[in-house]
Amino acid sequence: MNNPRAMAATIVGAVIGGVAAYLFFTERGRSVRRQIEPALEDFSRELMRFRNTAQKVAGLATEGWKLLNDTLGDGGKPPARSPSG
């Protein structure tokens, strides 16, 4: 393998595979998995709350721009929220 990216991908894949095998096929791995699952579920729930909050804020910002543009008589569009806009 002369391609450094391919070598890195192979190593990362092997490490991920090793960790997955440990977590699913050993008794100690199952125990670790049982301990971290509640924390991962809490983290996932918090991410969803953050996402919902961010969407509400973006919606309010858009409404604010619309109101400001209507008030000033400028029918322009609000600025893009992200570079992909």
What pLDDT was estimated at residue 1?
Answer: 61
Task: Inform me whether the pLDDT recorded for 80 exceeds 80.
Answer: no
Phi, psi of 31 (to 5 degrees): -65, -45
The answer to whether the beta carbons of residues 42 and 35 sit under 8 Å apart is no
Burial (CB < 10 A; 0-12, 13-18, 19+), residue 62, is middle
- Residue identified by tokens 């670790």 is 32
Q: What is the pLDDT of residues 17-56, one digit of tens each?
A: 999 999 999 999 999 999 999 999 999 999 999 999 999 9
pTM: 0.51
What pLDDT was estimated at residue 29?
Answer: 94
What pLDDT was estimated at residue 72?
Answer: 87
Q: What is the pLDDT of residues 48-75, one digit of tens each?
A: 999 999 999 999 999 999 999 888 876 5
How far is it, in rounded angstroms, from Cα 70 to Cα 52? 27
